[in-house]
A and B are shown apart, each in its own frame.
Chain A
Amino acid sequence: MKKKTYFGKWEAVCVIVNLLCTKIFLNYPRLTAEVGANAGWIFTLYTALLAFIGFLILQKLYKPFEGMDLLDLGEHIAGGFGRIIIGMVIIFFLGYLTVVYLRTFSENMKLVAFTMTPLSFVEFFFLICMIVGAYFGIEAITRLHALAIPFIIIGYVTLNIGVANFVDLTNLTPIFGSGLDKILMEGFPKVSVFSEILVLFLMTPFQKSHKTMKATGFWSLGLASLFFLIVSFAYSTVFPYPTTLEKAIPIFHIARLINLGRFFERVESIYMVIWAVASMLFLTINFYLILATFQKIFNLKYYKPLIIPFAILIMNLSFFPPNLIKSVSLEVDQFRNWSWLIGFAMPALLLILARLKKKRSA
């Protein structure tokens, strides 16, 4: 008999925190400045509060469905058809993220370190990690997260502490930045920065109880909110507004400022390492979940024969945006405006329907 895979709270927290926080290395700090101007930290607190409220409701609704993921819920409500529809939506969500992030990570990596290298060659390295990770499976991926994430966190916090000399608190004024009304109105759909929490509802069969899932969700959201707050505070105090709108890779510009005497120069190389590792882990878990979802919705016995075809598909789709600006826009201007519908609204709707069905059949 095949042994059922379980992993602990720590592994799950590491996966979700990495999924939520990888955007810090791309465009999250600039996004906070775009919405909140000098008050990026208020925007961060506001979206975090919305995400906490959303998760609080979701985990309460989830209580009677311990051990069931969203695909099982879809099947519970509408049979095989429900499972396929929900699965396709999840594949679209994860596929969109993977395609856009693969392109953006590779373009940024090329911009910073491999200026002469062809884009396809840089993407190829990410792709190899995705293929190898998917081949080894969820247990190996989560354990790798559990090992790597503490080092990434240490590197990330060190970077933010390293710019303490450049912090100018007057950059936070006017205190409400672009205005509270703008932050509240425009910030609402941007709760989508937390929409990767959806992955937690795909990992429920791997968690032993509802209590573990609940704790994982709150810890992940708490840690992610803290890291978002640290970076939005550092970015908006180190660079004055509107310079904050101009930085292509904000955290890289923060890292380049750090210079600790004559002994520690070019600290951005730490940033390069943690960025590359976080990106690879992000893409690998997303890629695995796409394969696992495809396998589950179509009742296929194996997912490994699908690894190479899906890798080709994702790499190919990542070449569709004509340039880096377009691929960033696909994420920031589009995905981050509607992905809350899939990350929060869809699970809520599913859980309500599943509860109604359960009540009716009882």
Chain B
Amino acid sequence: MITFSRFIIVILLLGVAIYTVSYGVWAWKQKNKLGAVMVFLLAIVIFVLPIYTIWIREA
């Protein structure tokens, strides 16, 4: 169920994930491809994991 607080959490997570991706893009442009890939992975994990915890595990 989507409540107001959960909606806010998703927006915040999305903001942090976008910020992390932008750092990954910067690292990629600096020719640090492995570092960039790891930062992209981190961005995916920090967006997916809390959603899994809030929706699936709590249910």
Contact = CB atoms under 8 A, between A and B. Distances in A.
A308 B16 contact: yes
B19 A316 contact: no
Given A309-B42, A312-B46, A312-B50, A300 B19 contact: no
Interface string A160-178: 0000000000000000000
Contacts of B34: 298-299
A309 B20 CA distance: 7
A306 interface: yes
A316 B50 contact: yes
Given A300-B32, A301-B30, A313 B19 contact: no
Nearest to B37: A298
For chain B, give the interface size range.
20 to 34
Given A306-B23, A308-B16, A309-B16, 8 more contacts: A298-B34, A298-B35, A305-B23, A309-B17, A309-B42, A309-B46, A312-B46, A316-B53
Interface of B: 13, 16-17, 19-20, 23, 27, 30, 32, 34-35, 38-39, 42-43, 45-46, 49-50, 53, 57
29 contacts: A294-B38, A298-B32, A298-B34, A299-B32, A299-B34, A300-B39, A301-B27, A305-B19, A305-B20, A306-B20, A306-B23, A306-B39, A306-B42, A309-B17, A309-B20, A309-B42, A309-B43, A310-B42, A312-B16, A312-B46, A312-B50, A313-B42, A313-B46, A316-B46, A316-B49, A316-B53, A317-B49, A319-B53, A320-B53
